[in-house]
Amino acid sequence: MICSEIVQQYESRFGRIDVYDRYLVSTLNSEAGRDPNRLEYLHWILAITEEHFCEPWGFIGNRVNANAADPALLARARKTVPLWRSFAVVGYTSRTRELFELESLVLNGFPHCYFEALECAEAWTDTVIRSVRSQ
């Protein structure tokens, strides 16, 4: 069990982001995946990470609304966000797992994993980021 506590919580029209010491958890609203301004969501996350992280950090997508990440945005973020070091997805449907497999194609060589429980994703992310930070 992870003993991390939320450092800060943010809300926007896209959903909620919970920031912890070594990672953030993004829980999008059901409409966020259809929002034509998805790039704005990436900018929102980047602003939050720049404020909170001066060391490597991990991203957890808590997909309670079966959202998927745009692979083009993932590839772009991977190149432009040097402190981002892991990507975890918590899914609740088989469709979310299928979408994660597609997203994995742009994350080749980057630590990423699919989970069915948020606590497991948090534990994995915490372990990955602790390891990266200790190098």
Q: Which fold has domain 15-134?
A: Transcription Regulator spoIIAA (3.30.750)
Predicted TM-score (pTM) of this structure: 0.91
In this prediction, residue 65 has a pLDDT band, given cuts at 50, 70 and 90, of confident
What does the pLDDT look like over 20-61, one tens digit per residue? Answer: 999 999 998 876 556 566 678 778 888 999 999 999 999 999
Share of the chain residues as helix, strand and coil, in percent rounded to the nearest 5: 45, 25, 35
Mean pLDDT across the stretch 59-84? 86
pLDDT score recorded for residue 115: 98
Nearest 5°: CA angle at 108, between 74 and 2?
75
Q: Could you tell me the residue ranges of all domains in the chain?
A: 15-134
pLDDT score recorded for residue 88: 97
**DSSP reduced 3-state for 25:** strand
**Does the structure show a pLDDT above 80 at 123?**
yes
Q: Which is higher by pLDDT, 105 or 32?
A: 105
* Residue 67 structure tokens: 């959202």
pLDDT score recorded for residue 104: 92
- Other beta carbons within 10 angstroms of residue 95's beta carbon come to 12
pLDDT score recorded for residue 51: 95
pLDDT score recorded for residue 45: 87
* Residue 34 structure tokens: 């259809």
pLDDT score recorded for residue 119: 96
Q: Which is higher by pLDDT, 108 or 48?
A: 48
Mean pLDDT across the stretch 67-90? 87
